[in-house]
């Protein structure tokens, strides 16, 4: 019985290990960031439209918009942003996000706030352009 358990555990471990030549995770996506369009809607309310190819899903293009919002806040002399809404769509391998953020000099109310400096640094480490 003990031998059968050892073989089963070994088989499970082998099945979970990446196979040679298999693409795993983000490296398989090979993202291509295709630009940011920024529109000031009203005072501190800003719209970001981003495009990218090679995204592994809507999370990638959403993160790209967040990176753009964080950099925009810093450019305007603000330290924070708050996510209002994001819509995403994919067509022909091109992902688009249409995101709205508020920017502010102080930490805004709400659960979906970002510290612009921290976010821009994180985006740089991940290789995601900010503007």
The DSSP element (H or E) to which 2 belongs, if any, is helix 2-16
Q: Output 116-121 pairs: Cβ under 8 A, ≥24 positions apart.
A: 116/70, 116/71, 116/73, 116/74, 116/78, 116/79, 116/80, 116/81, 117/70, 117/74, 117/79, 119/66, 119/67, 119/70, 119/81, 120/67, 120/70, 120/71, 120/74
CATH numeric code, 30-126: 3.30.70
Residue with tokens 């499970």: 12
* Structure confidence at residue 29 (pLDDT): 62
* Structure confidence at residue 53 (pLDDT): 97
pLDDT in tens, the chain (131 residues): 444 444 433 333 334 444 443 333 444 468 999 999 999 999 999 999 999 999 999 999 999 999 999 999 999 999 999 999 999 999 999 999 999 999 999 998 888 999 999 999 999 999 999 97
* Structure confidence at residue 124 (pLDDT): 97
pTM for the whole thing? 0.78
* Structure confidence at residue 66 (pLDDT): 98
Q: 3-state SS string over 61-107?
A: HHHHHHHHHHHHHHHCCCCEEEEEEEEEEEECCEEEEEEEEEEECCC
């Amino acid at each position: 019985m003990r031998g059968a358990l050892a073989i089963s555990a070994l088989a499970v471990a082998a099945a979970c290990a990446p196979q040679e030549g298999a693409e795993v995770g983000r490296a398989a996506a090979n993202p291509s960031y295709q630009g940011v369009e920024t529109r000031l809607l009203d005072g501190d309310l800003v719209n970001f439209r981003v495009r990218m190819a090679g995204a592994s899903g809507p999370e990638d293009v959403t993160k790209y918009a967040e990176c753009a919002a964080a950099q925009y806040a810093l450019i305007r002399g603000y330290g924070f942003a708050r996510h209002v809404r994001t819509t995403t769509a994919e067509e022909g391998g091109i992902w688009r996000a249409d995101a709205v953020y508020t920017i502010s000099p102080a930490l805004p109310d709400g659960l979906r706030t970002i510290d612009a400096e921290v976010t821009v640094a994180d985006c740089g480490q991940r290789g995601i352009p900010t503007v």
